[in-house]
Amino acid sequence: MGDGKESASFINQLRRLRGSRPQPPAGERCDFCAAPLPGQHSHVVHAEKRSLLCACRPCYLLFTAQGAAGGRYRAVPERYLDLGGQVLAPGQWDRLQVPVDLAFFFFNSTLGRTVAFYPSPAGATESLLPLDTWEEILRASPRIAALIPDVEALLVWKRSEGCASYVVPIDACYELVGIVRRHWRGFQGGEEAWRAIGTFFAAVTARSEPARAGVA
């Protein structure tokens, strides 16, 4: 009987001790040093695991040098470039066989090839990339061939007036994937989803520098 009372007393002391500890502030933290992060922060790609890691500015800068950490971690760049409609020639989109009107393409260094993904209600879904068509696109656009592996992507939105094309950081592509997952309804997506997608691309356009002819 006495042992039961002592155990209960000890447990209550532990509860009080745990409750007296200061709670960590809410919000995201750096995946490297655990420092608190603002809403807008940098990211680093784990090249082998294909995962995005949140990083404070000092940790992010550690991985901006080429070959840092043996290439295992790569800082996601902050370049946005509006390529306009000059990337995909008429008919090339159809030959890429992407089943929807949104897709992003990047070179996966682990696989040693370019991969194509499109946002869907289930997340980022891979689309088989016809290599002959992709090689044709690369030959015609040096900017695409110069994308930084794993961390930069070609983002394309096929619309009635043509394909809008951008060079974007890879985290922007996954932001778009998250938007589609949250808002998509039914087969067509619904008005709310397309309004959110339009808002996303308006922000991308506003952040993008226009491509200059002849500059890779």
Between CA 97 and CA 127 the distance in angstroms is 8
Q: Which two tokens stand for residue 59?
A: 């940790």
| Residue 148: predicted pLDDT | 93
In the beta sheet, which residues pair with residue 152?
169
Q: Is the pLDDT score of 25 beyond 60? A: no
Rounded mean pLDDT, 96-118: 92
The pLDDT tens digits for 28-41 are 899 999 999 998 89
Percent share of the chain, pLDDT over 90: 53
For every residue of 29-85, which 3-state class applies, written as one string? ECCCCCCECCCCCEEEEECCCCEEEEECHHHHHHCCCCCHHHHCEEECCCCCEEEEC
* pTM for the full predicted model: 0.81
Which of 2-16, 105-119, 143-157 shows the lowest per-residue confidence on average (mean pLDDT)?
A: 2-16
- Structure confidence by residue, pLDDT tens digits, 135-151: 888 888 888 889 999 99
Residue 171: partners with Cβ closer than 8 Å, 6 or more residues away: 43, 52, 76
Neighbour count for residue 32 (Cβ, 10 Å):
17
Tell me: pLDDT of 102 over 90.
yes
pLDDT in tens, 176-201: 999 999 999 988 899 999 999 999 99
pLDDT of residue 214: 46
Contact indicator for 111, 153 with CB cutoff of 8 Å = no
Confidence of residue 153 (pLDDT cuts 50, 70, 90): very high
Asked whether 42 and 172 are in contact (CB, 8 A), the reply is: no
Residues 96-125: what's their mean pLDDT? Answer: 92
